[in-house]
Structure 1
Amino acid sequence: MSVRPEARPSEARSRLLNTATRLFYAEGIHAVGIDRIVAEAQVTRATLYRHFPGKEDLVLAYLNEVDRAMRGQADAAVAAGLPPADTIRALSKSIAQSIQSPGFRGCAFLNAAAEYPDPESSVHKAVLAHRQWFLDTVTELLAKIQKTGAEPAARHFVMMRDGAMAAGCLFDPVLICETFLRGVDRLLQVYAVTDYSGPAGA
C-alpha cells in the first residue's frame, strides 16, 4: 500500500526528531530545552509545535524511534532462521555491539524512566510498553526451547541485559560484553536441562 504524500514525514520534522534523538540520548531529556533543539535543527518554534504540540510529544517520538530500531534488531535475529537458542545468542551479540558503539550512554528507556518516574506519565508508560515487548519476545524464543520456566528465564535475561547496558557506559565495554555473553550462554545451558525457576536456580 502506498503512503499518501501528506503522510510522509517532512524534512523539518525529520531534522527535529534526529536532533532531539541525538541530544536527548547524549545529554538527558530534561537537560535539553526546546530552544536548543530548534536552533540545532534550524527550524522555527512554530514549525516544531506544528509537528510536536509539546516537548513530551517529541520525547515520545524519540522513544518510538529507539523502539523501532530495537525491534529491527530482534526481527533481524529471528529472520536468520537459526534455532531458538542461537537466535537469542544472535540478539545478545547485537546488544553487545550496541554497547561497544561510540557514544553509548546506556539504555535509552531506562534513562527515560529515571527522568519520568511518575507511573501515570505517558513517557513512563511508553518505557513499560517497550520493556514488556522485549520480555515477551525473549519469553517466546525461550518457550521454543522448552515451555517450563520460559518467563523466569526471560526475566533473568532482561536483568543481565540491563546490567550490561548500565555497566557498559561506566566500565570497559569489551569486558562487560564478554561477561554478558558468557552469562547468556550459561543461562541457556541451565535452562535447557532444568526446571528453570529464576536466577537462584542457576
Structure 2
Amino acid sequence: MTTLTADTVRPPTHAKLRILATADRLFYTEGVHTVGVDRIIGESKVTKATFYKYYRSKDALIVVYLEGRDRLARDFLASLDTNCDTPEQRLRGVVNEISAQVIRGGFHGCPFINAAAQFTDPAHPVRQAVSAHRDWYGRSIEDMFRGMGHARPGDAADDFFLARDGAFAGANLGDPIGAHTALLRAIQRVLDESVA
C-alpha cells in the first residue's frame, strides 16, 4: 500500500517555476536590484547550476518576471472583454482593480515602474519589457476611451496613466486610502469629458 505524502498528493513544483515564483515574490516585495541570485537560489531550493540552466542571468530572470506580470494584466483585460458589455464597463473594471490593489495589504507599487526606476538605459532588456507592457496597456486604455466616444482618447489615456501611476506611488509611499480616493476622482473627471 502506498502512503500518501504531500509529494504524492501534489508533486513538487518544477525547479524553473519555483525559481520564478520565488523571484516574483522577492522582486516585487524588495526590489529587483536588492535581491541577489544566491538568495533566489537558496529560497527556491535549487542549485546554482539549475538556476543558470533555466535563466542565463539575473537580468534574464527579471525580464521573465515582468513578462509574467504583463501576462496577468493581459489576462485580466481579456476577462473584462468577456464579462463587460461596453468600453465604459471595461474601463471601470480596470479602475476598480487598481483601486483594490492600492488598498490591499502587501502592495508595493507597480512592478513595471519599480523595475524601470532601477534600469535607466532604454535599450536594456528590462527597460524594453517595461516599455512593451506600457505601450500595450496604453493602447488598450486608449481604445476603451475611443469606444466610449471620447473626443480625445489619447489625451484621456494619458490622464488615466498619470492618475494610475500617481495612485500607485502614493499608496506605496504610505497613503493607500488617499491614493484610492484621488484615483477615483481623477478618473471620474476624465470619464465625464467623454459625455460632455
Q: Assess same fold via TM > 0.5.
A: yes
2:186 paired with 1:183: yes
Q: Is the 8 A contact 2:16 2:51 kept in 1?
A: yes
Note if contact 2:108-2:172 (Cα within 8 Å) is conserved in structure 1.
yes
- More displaced 10-residue stretch of structure 1: 76-85 or 132-141: 76-85
**How much is the aligned-residue C-alpha RMSD, in angstroms?**
1.3
Taking every aligned residue pair, what percent have the same amino acid on both sides?
Answer: 36
Match of 1:72 in 2: 75
In the alignment, structure 1 residue 116 sits paired with structure 2 residue 103: no
Unaligned runs of 5+ in 1: 1-9, 194-202
Q: Which amino acid aligns with 1:61?
A: V
Q: Give 1:171's aligned residue.
A: 174
- Secondary structure of the residue aligned to 1:142 is helix
| Unaligned stretches of 5+ residues in structure 2 | 1-12
The one-letter code matched in structure 1 to 2:99 is: A
Work out whether residues 141 and 157 of structure 2, in 8 Å CA contact, stay in contact via their aligned partners in 1: yes
2:91 aligned residue: 88
Q: Are residues 1:57 and 2:60 paired?
A: yes
Q: Which residue, out of 42, 47, 54, partners 2:45?
A: 42
1:133-148 residue pairs with structure 2 within 5 A?
A: 133-146=136-149, 148=151
SS of the equivalent of 1:90 reads: helix
How much has 1:147 moved relative to structure 2? 5.6
Name the aligned partner's letter for residue 69 of structure 1.
Answer: L
Find the aligned partners of 1:21 and 1:160 in 2 and give their Cα distance.
25
Per the TM alignment, residue 146 of structure 1 is displaced from its structure 2 partner at its CA by: 1.5
Indicate if the aligned counterparts of 1:73 and 1:94 stay in contact, CA closer than 8 A: no
| 34-43 vs 73-82, greater mean Cα deviation | 73-82
How many residues are treated as equivalent by the alignment?
A: 184
CA distance in 2, matches of 1:23, 1:81: 34
- Per the normalisation by structure 2, the TM-score is 0.89
Distance (whole Å) between structure 1 residues aligned to residue 168 and residue 150 of structure 2: 27
Moved segments of 4+, more than 2 Å: none
Shift of 1:132: 0.5
Report the Cα distance in structure 1 between the residues aligned to 2:31 and 2:147, rounded to whole angstroms: 38
